[in-house]
DNA sequence: GAGTGGTCTAGACCACGCC
DNA sequence: GCGTGGTCTAGACCACTCA
């Protein structure tokens, strides 16, 4: 009789129970990666609930990132096959000294591509000036680009470099040449020797969701890297936003 | 007249536009951290929509982790004040050799606590045996615990150590004594010298949401650390799950 | 064209916070 | 006790996929 059967004591809401049942079916292997789950109509029948309730249950799993919905087709179990990004090794000097860009180091025989490259000289935002140890009114070269692997967008990156150091060099051009920014910095007498990476996690903005083609429930990683010379002068700040479902980050260090 | 005004060409759904307006109001500073947003009733009036639509708009922001809902009270802008976790420095040998546990290193004068400690000797799960370079039937000591800072749960940690190495020592006890596991391993002649940390991001399971008291839209960080001796023998595997809104991870390394 | 998910309305009862 | 968010129903039209 009761439209909302809060009858049983403290029982979780129906939509949660449905979500939990589906989640269990997935984690226990009843549904494999890519399998189609029971849809809204199935759930309405099986559990005798209204459509909104069935949808609510599915939305929980979608926001957990364990399933994706495909309009007109169904709800599918999501796979997770990340790319390993090895912090220290990929930034080893030998790499960019031998003409490979840092981003290339991640792509083991896979097809990589960089697009949406924009380069501009701008006034340094306050936090950039601070990170690069520059005065507030300083000019910086800002390089923006998007990296793909096997046709899939993987990360957005924005680098800032002191304009006084790099203006008029290939670093101000869309194509920085073999070995990329770091090789050019080396030629200018300021090869990066030390790196600091800061990692944060958050849910993406709508713009990032579009640019990285993220499905709902996918967090992003913010990696903020500062490159320093042997004299500990900061020469680059690189702000990266990675598709969280596409990466495993790895760092090695000693006690 | 149309109940669903899909009139304008390709205009985004109403709930998205409401969400975008609120998001913009937050990021542009019209609402500060902790401020109360217009609630469901306000949105229904302002935009002339049904309750479900207003709720839908708010649920978008909740799942983005930028606002939290408080039953009976309202929707509030969320603050983000993370703890800096410095990968290499916090694992420096001097720390645990002088009696401080690794977890203590993060807490700068803040109140820290560890609870839910359980210690058991078990058969090594397959991936644990592989990581510790042990045969499949090997026994391991598993230590589980939860770490708090200023009363807030920050991370869940599960360590695995070869039983043949640590059985009968303080590592098998809930309290491992000054300097923690690593100090004890040192006394046993196997001080950790090298570390590898792997980082993944994902949305939490319902159990983690409860144990870490996460609000909706908060991703977690999985940190998988392997500790190796000078002879590169793995002596510990530590699986940590961190509240993604509570941490900034930092790693330093050289080219 | 049948079936799937996406958006939206209108109205109901509930649990909780706060005054 | 009023207002808040939480759960749920019943029914509508839409856009898309796929056979």
Measured between beta carbons, which residues in chain B are less than 8 angstroms from residue A194?
Answer: 252-255
Measured between beta carbons, which residues in chain B are less than 8 angstroms from residue A248?
Answer: 198-200
Q: What would the mean pLDDT of A45-66 be, rounded to a whole number?
A: 96
Nucleotides of C under 7 A from a protein CB: 3-18
Q: CATH code for B14-77? A: 1.10.10.10
Q: Mark out the alpha helices in B133-221 (DSSP H runs).
A: 163-166, 180-187, 206-211
Domain positions in chain B: 14-77, 83-250
Is B250 within 8 Å of chain A by CB?
A: yes
Instruction: Say if residues B65 and B217 touch (Cβ distance below 8 Å).
Output: yes
pLDDT of A10-42, one tens digit each?
678 999 999 999 999 999 999 999 999 999 999
What pairing do the DSSP bridges indicate for beta strands B112-123 and B83-86? Answer: unpaired
| Per-residue pLDDT at A207 exceeds 90 | yes
What pairing do the DSSP bridges indicate for beta strands A74-77 and A220-228? Answer: unpaired
Q: What are phi and psi of B74, to 5 degrees?
A: 160, -170
CA A2, CA A12: separation in Å to the nearest integer?
A: 16
Distances (CA, A) of A225 to A67, A189, A228: 32, 20, 10
Taking alpha carbons only, the member of A89, A223, A100, A95 closest to residue A156 is A223
Q: What would the mean pLDDT of A161-180 be, rounded to a whole number?
A: 89
What is the three-state SS of A145-184?
Answer: EEEEECCEEEEEEEEEEEHHHHCCCHHHCCCCCCCHHHHH
A215-CA/C2-C1' distance, Å: 27
Residue-level pLDDT at A10: 64
| Per-residue pLDDT at A143 exceeds 80 | yes
Cβ–Cβ gap A254/B221 under 8 Å: no
Per-residue confidence in pLDDT tens, chain B, 255 aa:
333 333 334 678 999 999 999 999 999 999 999 999 999 999 999 999 999 999 999 999 999 999 999 999 999 999 877 888 887 777 778 788 887 778 777 776 677 889 999 999 999 999 999 999 999 889 999 999 999 988 889 999 999 999 999 988 888 888 888 888 999 999 999 999 999 999 999 999 999 999 999 999 999 999 999 999 999 999 999 999 999 999 999 999 888
The fold adopted by the segment(s) B83-250 is: Chorismate lyase (3.40.1410)
């Amino acid at each position: 009789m009761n439209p909302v059967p809060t009858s049983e004591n403290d029982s979780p809401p129906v939509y949660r129970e449905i979500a939990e049942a589906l989640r269990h079916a997935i984690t226990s292997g009843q549904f494999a990666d890519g399998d189609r789950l029971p849809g809204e109509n199935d759930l309405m029948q099986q559990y005798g609930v209204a459509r909104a309730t069935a949808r609510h249950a599915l939305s929980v799993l979608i926001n957990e990132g364990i399933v994706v919905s495909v309009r007109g087709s169904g709800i599918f179990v999501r796979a997770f096959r990340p790319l390993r990004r090895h912090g220290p090794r990929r930034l080893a000097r030998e790499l960019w000294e031998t003409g490979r860009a840092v981003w290339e180091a991640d792509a083991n025989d896979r097809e990589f591509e960089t697009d949406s490259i924009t380069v501009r000289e701008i006034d340094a935002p306050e936090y950039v000036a601070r990170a690069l140890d520059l005065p507030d009114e300083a000019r910086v070269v800002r390089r923006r680009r998007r990296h793909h692997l096997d046709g899939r967008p993987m990360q957005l990156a924005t680098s800032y470099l002191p304009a006084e150091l790099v203006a008029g060099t290939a670093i101000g051009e869309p194509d920085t040449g073999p070995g990329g920014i770091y090789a050019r910095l080396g030629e200018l007498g300021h090869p990066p020797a030390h790196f600091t990476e800061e990692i944060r996690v958050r849910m993406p903005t709508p713009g990032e969701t579009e640019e990285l083609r993220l499905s709902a429930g996918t967090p992003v990683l913010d990696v903020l890297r500062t490159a320093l010379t042997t004299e500990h002068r900061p020469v680059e700040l690189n702000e990266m936003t990675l598709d969280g479902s596409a990466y495993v980050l790895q760092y090695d260090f000693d006690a």
